[in-house]
């Protein structure tokens, strides 16, 4: 999820018996890689290329190498590190990240039952706050749910209320 977790993982998996511990990680648009003493661009960059080639995010790949006496050359190192990363990612369990946004809206008490039913049917996480005039709702919705929910709210409130996106940054769940 974040760079602190990456650092904790790398510290936890540190193995001083290896000749090289090369890694790459990607979280959203943020990437880092490390060749750990291998010739520049022969280890971390091929691992990162494999992550990006598999269209993954929120992932780190660590490859340990013990020198066995045979020099692989730069091409051999690139193939070894990229190939090992590719095999690992092929076997790894993948979890789909679903883009969500925070929204808020209000409705009258007599409209709340319909809106509540709609939120529940779509399995939307929400919190309701009762006010003097009605209900104020905060919710985390999948991006594709926003437009249909906007239409439903406009229909139920006869155009009086609209959904407001709290911030335009997307969150992953």
109 and 166 share a domain? Answer: yes
Q: Which residues contact 3 (CB under 8 A, 6 or more apart)?
A: 27, 30
19 and 79 share a domain? Answer: yes
126 and 146 share a domain? Answer: yes
Contact 60, 30 (CB under 8 A): no
Distance CA 141, CA 145 (A): 6
Q: What is the DSSP letter of 84?
A: H
20 and 67 share a domain? Answer: yes
77 and 134 share a domain? Answer: no
Q: Which of 75, 91, 107 marks a domain boundary? A: 91
If residue 25 lies in a helix (H) or strand (E), which one and from where to where? Answer: strand 20-27
Per-residue tokens: 2 = 């974040």
CATH, residue 17: 3.30.230.30
pLDDT tens figures, 37-56: 999 999 999 999 999 999 99
pLDDT tens figures, 89-137: 999 999 988 888 999 999 999 999 999 999 999 999 999 999 999 999 9
Distance CA 88, CA 92 (A): 6
pLDDT tens figures, 3-41: 999 999 999 999 999 999 999 999 989 999 999 999 999
73 and 128 share a domain? Answer: no
40 and 111 share a domain? Answer: no
Per-residue tokens: 9 = 């993982």
Per-residue confidence (pLDDT) for residue 32, from 0 to 100: 97
Distance CA 140, CA 127 (A): 9
Specify the number of domains making up the chain.
2
Q: What is the DSSP letter of 16?
A: T
Per-residue confidence (pLDDT) for residue 68, from 0 to 100: 86
CATH, residue 121: 3.30.70.240
* Domain hosting residue 52, numbered range: 3-91
8 and 71 share a domain? Answer: yes
76 and 18 share a domain? Answer: yes
68 and 105 share a domain? Answer: no
pLDDT tens figures, 137-146: 999 999 999 9
Q: Is the pTM of this model over 0.85?
A: no
62 and 37 share a domain? Answer: yes
Q: Which residues contact 43 (CB under 8 A, 6 or more apart)?
A: 20, 22, 33, 34, 35, 36, 63, 65, 77, 81
Q: What is the mean pLDDT of the chain?
A: 93
46 and 125 share a domain? Answer: no
């Amino acid at each position: 999820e974040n760079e602190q977790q990456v650092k904790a993982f790398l510290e936890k998996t540190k193995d001083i018996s290896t000749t090289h511990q090369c890694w790459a990680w990607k979280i959203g648009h943020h990437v880092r890689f490390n060749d750990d003493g291998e010739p520049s661009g022969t280890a971390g960059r091929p691992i990162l290329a494999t992550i990006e080639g598999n269209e993954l995010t929120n992932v780190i790949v660590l490859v340990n190498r013990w020198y066995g006496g045979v020099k692989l050359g730069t091409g051999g190192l690139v193939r070894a590190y990229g190939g090992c990363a590719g095999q690992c990612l092929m076997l790894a369990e993948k979890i789909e990240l679903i883009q969500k946004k925070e929204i808020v809206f209000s409705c009258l008490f007599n409209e709340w039952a319909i809106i509540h039913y709609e939120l529940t049917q779509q399995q939307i996480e929400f919190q309701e706050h009762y006010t003097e005039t009605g209900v104020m709702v905060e919710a985390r919705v999948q991006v594709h749910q926003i437009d249909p929910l906007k239409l439903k709210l406009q229909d139920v409130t006869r155009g009086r209320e609209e959904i407001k996106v709290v911030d335009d940054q997307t969150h992953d769940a």
